[in-house]
Amino acid sequence: MGKLGKAYLIDADVFVQAKNLHYRFEFCGGFWDWVATAHSRGLVYSVETVRAELVAGRKGDAARTWAERLPTGFFLQDTGEPKVMAHYAAVMAWAANADQYTAAAIAEFADDKNADAFIVAVARERGATVVTHEKSSAEAKRRVPLPNAADALGVETVTIFDLLSKHAASTFSFKA
C-alpha cells in the first residue's frame, strides 16, 4: 500500500449531500466531472466501504450509477488490506476506550457497513486527508463523529468546500 502524496479521501456524506443538495446532477455536473478529473490527477479517492454505501442505494439513483462507473482505483481497498486493518484496530480501540460515547454509538461506529472508521484507517495508512461534512464535537455521546476519530489518530479532515476552494475554479454559467 503506501503513501499517496497529498491526497484526499472523500467520505460518503459528501457524495450524498452533493447529490441531494449542493451539486445535484441536474444542474451541477461540473462538480462530478471535477471529482473524476481530480482523481485522474491523483488528488482524490475514496474507499471501498464508501462505494458499498453508495451502490446500496436504489437502482437508478444518480449517485449509485455514478459510483458504479468510476474507474478502478478510485475506491481504495480497506477491509482487505492488512496494514489498513491494523489502523482500523487502533481506531476501534480508541472508540472503545473513549468514555464519552454510549455503547450504541460505539456499536454503530464499529458496524462494518459504516465507512467512517475505515476511511480514517486508510487515510492514516496512506498519509491522506479526509473530506467530510461532519464536524468535530467534544460533547458528542450518541454518535462518534468521524472528525473526532480522525483527530484522535492524527488524521486531518477538511470540508469539500475547503478542498474545492483550493483546487477548483468557478464554472457556473447562466442557463435560460
User: Which residue ranges of the chain lie beneath pLDDT 70?
Assistant: 1-5, 172-176
Distance between CA atoms of residues 23 and 14, nearest Å? 10
How many domains are contained in the chain?
A: 1
- Of 22, 32, 34, 35, the closest CA to residue 62 belongs to 32
pLDDT of residue 4: 59
Tell me whether strands 129-131 and 157-158 are parallel, antiparallel or unpaired: parallel
- Of 43, 26, 46, 21, the closest CA to residue 34 belongs to 43
- For the chain, how long is the longest CA-to-CA vector? 56
Residue 2 lies in a domain: no
Residue 3 lies in a domain: no
Per residue in 2-45, pLDDT (tens digit) is: 565 689 999 999 999 999 998 999 889 899 999 999 999 999 99
- Which residues, 6 or more positions from 67, have their beta carbon under 8 angstroms from its beta carbon? 15, 51, 54, 55, 75
Which residue range forms the structural domain that includes residue 118? 8-167
Residue 45 lies in a domain: yes
Radius of gyration of the chain (CA): 16
Residue 176 lies in a domain: no
The pTM (predicted TM-score) of the whole model is 0.93
Q: What length is written for the chain? A: 176
Instruction: Show the beta-strand stretches assigned E in 84-141.
Output: 129-131
Residue 42 lies in a domain: yes
Question: What CATH number is attached to the domain comprising 23?
Answer: 3.40.50.1010
Distance between CA atoms of residues 43 and 118, nearest Å? 19
Residue 174 lies in a domain: no
Residue 90 lies in a domain: yes
